[in-house]
């Protein structure tokens, strides 16, 4: 039995793999879209909107709740970008057989999460136990997440289509 594949078998396998990944991406997109639309239309999507909505409030509790909503929104958007790049890098790895970029991207994302947690935690601890420590943490979390989203949105990981 011959263990080697012919060039036509290899090309047809690669084309099949690309088609399957595209189908998975379409399915994932179809499943993710409704989840992203769960947030109420009136919910704030950034820090400035929270500040505007809570400018006249004396208590920090409404601002904290508003920032919780922004964090949920930003987390969903960030996860969407991470998923997009992961799918694209998986497709690229199946095409060229090199998985190093995918592994490094996943490591980079894990390192970002650790960095974000530690960076925001020290800002919380500087203010704590005074009032406003929670707002400092949440504001830091949103800002760093938005920076990561901006970076991921500018980088293209797709293969050029033939």
pTM: 0.70
pLDDT at 117 (0 to 100): 97
Average pLDDT over residues 145-150: 96
pLDDT tens digit sequence for 81-127: 999 999 999 999 998 999 999 999 999 999 999 999 999 999 999 99
- Asked if residue 134 belongs to a domain, the reply is yes
- Asked if residue 161 belongs to a domain, the reply is no
pLDDT at 47 (0 to 100): 86
Report the distance separating Cα 101 and Cα 83, nearest Å.
Answer: 14
pLDDT at 39 (0 to 100): 47
Please give the structure tokens belonging to residue 69.
Answer: 């909503």
- Asked if residue 2 belongs to a domain, the reply is no
- Asked if residue 106 belongs to a domain, the reply is yes
- Asked if residue 130 belongs to a domain, the reply is yes
> Which of the two residues, 6 and 105, has the higher pLDDT score?
105
79 CA to centre of own chain: 3
> Which of the two residues, 45 and 147, has the higher pLDDT score?
147
> Which of the two residues, 86 and 5, has the higher pLDDT score?
86
pLDDT at 80 (0 to 100): 95
pLDDT tens digit sequence for 67-79: 999 999 999 999 9
State how many domains the chain has. 1
Domain span at residue 136?
A: 7-154
- Asked if residue 160 belongs to a domain, the reply is no
pLDDT tens digit sequence for 11-67: 666 667 667 776 676 666 666 555 555 444 456 788 888 888 877 776 788 888 999
pLDDT at 1 (0 to 100): 46
């Amino acid at each position: 039995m011959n263990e080697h594949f012919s060039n036509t078998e290899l090309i047809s396998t690669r084309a099949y793999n690309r088609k399957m990944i595209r189908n998975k991406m379409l399915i994932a997109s179809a499943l993710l879209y409704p989840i992203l639309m769960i947030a109420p239309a009136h919910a704030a999507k950034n820090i400035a909107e929270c500040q505007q909505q809570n400018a006249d409030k004396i208590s920090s509790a409404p601002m904290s709740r508003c920032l919780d909503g922004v964090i949920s929104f930003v987390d969903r958007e960030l996860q969407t970008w991470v998923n997009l790049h992961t799918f694209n890098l998986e497709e690229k790895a199946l095409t060229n057989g090199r998985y190093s970029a995918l592994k490094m991207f996943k490591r980079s994302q894990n390192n970002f999460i650790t960095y974000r947690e530690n960076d925001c935690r020290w800002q919380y601890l500087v203010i704590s136990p005074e009032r406003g420590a929670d707002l400092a943490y949440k504001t830091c979390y949103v800002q760093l997440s938005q920076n990561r989203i901006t970076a991921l949105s500018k980088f293209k990981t797709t293969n050029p289509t033939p």
